[in-house]
Structure 1
Amino acid sequence: MTPSTAQAHAPRRPRIRSDAPFLIGLSLLGGVYVVLIVAMLVADLAYTSPGHLVEALRSPNIQYAIRLSLLSCSLTALLCLWVGVPLGYLLSRCQFRGKGLLEAILDIPIVLPPLVIGLSLLILFQTAPGRWLERWVPVTYAVPSVILAQFAVACAFAVQTMRVTFDQISPRGEQVARTLGCTRHQAFWRVTLPEARRGILTAGTLSWARALGEFGPILVFSGATRMKTEVLSTSVFLELSVGALEAAVAVSLLMIIAAVVVLLVVRWFGSGASFHQGQAP
């Protein structure tokens, strides 16, 4: 057999086709949503002006809404961490009867319409225990109701974030600490919790951002009373209700700026956590 004949009978290598058409198709399909988000942001920026933003910031009502939003969101984030860290740890480390039911219950605030959560809170405080509590601490249509409405939704996100965080932390460190004489809670405080610090910061930041954007439960459970239960999300609603579209857009821009800052913080801590995990031996 001559070399030319051998080359003719040799199996042909499959041609490697370019991935460009596939990737371009995916980019075009996904780009529609990206363009929509960018278009909305550009429209907000084009509609308002720095003067409208300054005028909105000078309004006593909006100043009060900013203060209450900062206070309520910060308290809500702390409460979410107070509950989210232990619940996330239990769901990640422990196996017990009824765990699936507990996970389903914790996911309810995520899938329920926000108005339903607000209505459920309102009904809860119409029951005998709720009315008894109202005798000592006014909750409904007061500042505590704002924090409770934010907490009812945002805490679910904190729990899920902390569960994923503890899932990514090997239990080996706790086991070694216990063989060296630590109790379970000492191993948790000294070994696991410090390793989860990035996840804790991410959970707190996400809870803060979710609380800032909460509207439905606050509107139903707290109302939208000026200088009392008004937060930034209800400020947009109140400004729209009186036809002050420029002020509503200005307040919306404030919330967008806060959301961008929160997302940058989350991306920063998230990328840092991924980097350190990738460098781990």
Structure 2
Amino acid sequence: MKQYVAEIASMGRLRHKNLVQLLGYCRRKGELLLVYDYMPNGSLNDYLFSRNKMKDLTWSQRVNIIKGVASALLYLHEDWEQFVLHRDIKASNILLDADLNGRLGDFGLAGFHDRGVNLEATRVVGTIGYMAPELTAMGVATTKTDVYAFGSFILEVVCGRRLVDLGRPPVQIVLLNWIATCGIRDTLMDTVDSKLGDFKAEEAKLLLKLGMLCSQSKPENRPSMRHIIQYLEGNVTVPSLAFDTAEFGSNETVTQLTTTSSSVNFSFDDVTLFGSR
């Protein structure tokens, strides 16, 4: 309970236009309740993957959502008094306001850390497919593990599909592998969501490369959120990627993804504290 209250106090001080604002909390009859700003358009997950979704997001709306989430993560990683690891970045945790701006929410797995403190291995928490190889292998969570999840998020938004889709042809089942294959063939545009009528090819190519850059197996090869913002704003050119030699994700994660639902959460004690999904 002390940890719960301490984390709530920290979350209440977070202020950013692309974060879902925590308004308060309540403990009543053993239940722990969180009160947030109301997001009338629900989650991004509903717009991308729900069969009953109201409409498809336009290309400009998708780009705006990606930029908004990137801005929120930069604030958490570098611009707040502590640095915050979200640890569960995915479409279902991006909520949409009345203007379809993306806001990062659900800090149930987040970690708040003083700057200059060396992080130690921790319990493995997150969602399969969004978890970086070093996190699943050694329990090491850093800002670069958030970057890895953000890369997966970019690819899902641009391609309009989940990281693993068993209903697709074998070469397309694992999104990372398919994009890498298309990168080798110089056919990256084949991976862009077919439901998009109009989109800017150069922007799509940049986002796909950036998503793959964030998805590299070695954390030191992934950019920081500050660099990502510079890439998104066009102030710095995204480094070239050798799709035929770059290593993305991990074989272990791919195996898990093809045999398990991609929505399964490894959250252990954190769920006990913050409530199940």
TM-score with structure 2 setting the length: 0.25
The structure whose RCO (Cα within 8 Å, separation 6+) is larger is 1
The structure with the greater share of residues assigned to helix is: 1
